[in-house]
Amino acid sequence: MTDRRHAMSTTDSRTHDGRTPAARTDVIVVGAGPTGLLLAGDLAAAGLDVTLVERRPAGRSNLTRAFGVHARTLELLDTRGLADALEATGTPLARMRLFGRLSLDLGRLPSRYDHLLITPQYEVERLLEQRAADAGVTFRHDTALRTLHQDADGVTAEFTGPDGAPLTLRAHHLVGTDGHRSTVRTAVGLPFPGTSVIRSIVLADVRLTDAPAETLSVNGTGDTFAFIAPFGDGWYRVMGWDRTRQVPDSEPVELDEVRDLARRALGTDHGMHDARWISRFHSDERQVPAYRVGRVFLAGDAAHVHSPAGGQGMNTGLQDAANLSWKLVAVHRGEAPDPEALLDSYQTERHPVGAMVLRTSGALVRLAMAHTPAARALRALAATCVSALRPLSAKALGTVSGLGIAYAPTPGGGRTSGRRAPDVPLREGRLHALLRAGEFVLIAPEGASPALPSFAPTTAARAVRATWTDPARRTTALVRPDGYVLWTAG
């Protein structure tokens, strides 16, 4: 940290066996996927000393995997000055087909990002990695966590580095963003309860000679399911599933299998060729019971995994990171009136969101796979209700896009605390641009200079001051660095 006002100090810099002196840092982040990159970048941008450890060698990406960035995630990226650059890499989708006739009109989203952005996960990671590097994160690639131990003063983590060399690091806090097979989760002794929800999904990134007329082509016959989405640069993502061909992930996939599946589900293979990536995977629904164990936190796929239906995984992980980062910053700066309660609020706020994502993506995939007459009737009914009833479609839109996610109100925080703060225009600029400072934003009526509430985990000197554009507006609002309202008054 540049401003070293730590609420705690790391007095013991030795490994648990007391032999090797360990290098010290404020926070160790394990896993440089999207979740770890956003988190490490936020912490370093706020002045913390951060080491990001990644098992993969430098330069080897996570390949395509996720390909849909939802509106709320685009807002989070906007508050870090990255949304425009990401938008330039992909294709906006104004309507999202979920299954059967059920589709959502994303154009109705109350956000400057009224769409789903189709872009490969590696583009998100490229931008986040550059930001983290610019902010001063220390990257250690080719280095895998083996185990960790925590005590009253900090966490000691042991790694295997390049060429098998051992490495020991010591930090105040450690965050496991090391994906669904998380070593951090195992090291703190947490289970990952759940089940396998869908097996043998095939995926390919291909070129097409005969592109679909609709931006997103999706269909299911009951025994097969497939969809095709454009990345916007001539490449398309194909995903398919065949009830009659359920094989282990290790079974090789050829493009012919994907073509055949597309023909049966969609009626055509659109002349797919030149696959740059093909894979077969299965999908689990699992969630860790605790997102925090002492000084260790879990975020992203390390904390929750679910089916790819609805495209929520990467988006949820990025929101976990945005929720946790400012809390760790406030505690490290010594500005949290109740540091333990603030760190616990990461679990209180994000665990229910993870559970909700498991439920909704699970329901979507089960409806998409429906093949008994009763299940298909239920699916048709669900589609009709959601399409016809405006409150239901608004709820579905809020859930899928992430814009509808809200947290419990802060005690004493006022009626709208816990809700997402929309990108309102202010005298000093729009709110989401002001949040790029990474600090709380205090919005007050013209001429007023209100004090912060006693429970605010920041200082008056640090909060960004702003004024409503409407002189008649007499309320005061304190917006958290992750874009949720902490407190309103007046």
Distance CA(169)–CA(27), nearest Å, equals 10
> Shortest approach of ligand FAD to residue 369 CB, angstroms?
17
3-state secondary structure string, 412-457? CCCCCCCCECCCCEECCEEHHHHHHHCCCEEEECCCCCCCCCCCCC
The token duo for 341 is 């309660």
Cβ-based nearer residue to ligand FAD, 285 or 335: 285
129 lies in the binding site for ligand FAD (CB under 6 A): no
Distance of CA 245 to the CA centre of its chain: 32
Buried b (16+ CB within 10 A) or exposed e, 341-368: ebbebbbebbbebbeebbebbbebbbbb
Query: E-assigned strands of 151-263?
Result: 155-160, 166-176, 194-208, 217-220, 224-230, 236-242
135 lies in the binding site for ligand FAD (CB under 6 A): no
> Shortest approach of ligand FAD to residue 100 CB, angstroms?
19
Applying the rule CB under 6 A, the residues between 164 and 183 that interact with ligand FAD are 177-179, 183
Cβ-based nearer residue to ligand FAD, 92 or 418: 92
Half-sphere exposure of 392 (CA within 13 A, CB side): 11
Of the candidate residues 15, 22, 27, 34, the single one contacting ligand FAD (CB under 6 A): 34
> Shortest approach of ligand FAD to residue 435 CB, angstroms?
22
Residue span binding ligand FAD (CB under 6 A) among the ranges 32-40, 80-88, 345-353, 469-477: 32-40
148 lies in the binding site for ligand FAD (CB under 6 A): no
Contact 102, 387 (CB under 8 A): yes
Distance CA(151)–CA(177), nearest Å, equals 21
Residue span binding ligand FAD (CB under 6 A) among the ranges 13-21, 25-33, 248-256, 389-397: 25-33
> Shortest approach of ligand FAD to residue 141 CB, angstroms?
9
> Shortest approach of ligand FAD to residue 70 CB, angstroms?
7
Of the candidate residues 15, 22, 28, 35, the single one contacting ligand FAD (CB under 6 A): 35
Cβ-based nearer residue to ligand FAD, 129 or 423: 129
45 lies in the binding site for ligand FAD (CB under 6 A): no
Half-sphere exposure of 439 (CA within 13 A, CB side): 17
Three-state DSSP state, 339: helix
Of the candidate residues 10, 20, 62, 268, the single one contacting ligand FAD (CB under 6 A): 62
372: left (phi over 0), alpha (psi -120 to 50) or beta: beta
66 lies in the binding site for ligand FAD (CB under 6 A): yes
Distance CA(84)–CA(74), nearest Å, equals 9
Cβ-based nearer residue to ligand FAD, 35 or 458: 35
75 lies in the binding site for ligand FAD (CB under 6 A): no
The token duo for 75 is 């807002």
Residues in binding contact with ligand FAD, number by CB under 6 A: 34
Distance CA(58)–CA(81), nearest Å, equals 24
139 lies in the binding site for ligand FAD (CB under 6 A): no
Cβ-based nearer residue to ligand FAD, 262 or 443: 262
Of the candidate residues 154, 317, 418, 457, the single one contacting ligand FAD (CB under 6 A): 317
Distance CA(304)–CA(193), nearest Å, equals 10
Cβ-based nearer residue to ligand FAD, 56 or 419: 56
Distance CA(332)–CA(7), nearest Å, equals 6
Distance CA(174)–CA(293), nearest Å, equals 10
Show the site string, 107-126: x = touches ligand FAD by CB under 6 A, - = not: --------------x-----
Cβ-based nearer residue to ligand FAD, 308 or 414: 308
Terminal-residue alpha carbon distance, the chain = 36
67 lies in the binding site for ligand FAD (CB under 6 A): yes
89 lies in the binding site for ligand FAD (CB under 6 A): no
Helix axis angle for 390-401 and 373-388, nearest 10°, is 100
Cβ burial, residue 86 (10 Å; 0-12/13-18/19+): buried
Applying the rule CB under 6 A, the residues between 248 and 307 that interact with ligand FAD are 281, 300-301
Show the site string, 202-231: x = touches ligand FAD by CB under 6 A, - = not: -x----------------------------
354 lies in the binding site for ligand FAD (CB under 6 A): no
308 lies in the binding site for ligand FAD (CB under 6 A): yes
Catalog residues that contact ligand FAD under the rule CB under 6 A: 30-36, 53-56, 62, 65-68, 121, 144-145, 177-179, 183, 203, 281, 300-301, 308, 311-315, 317
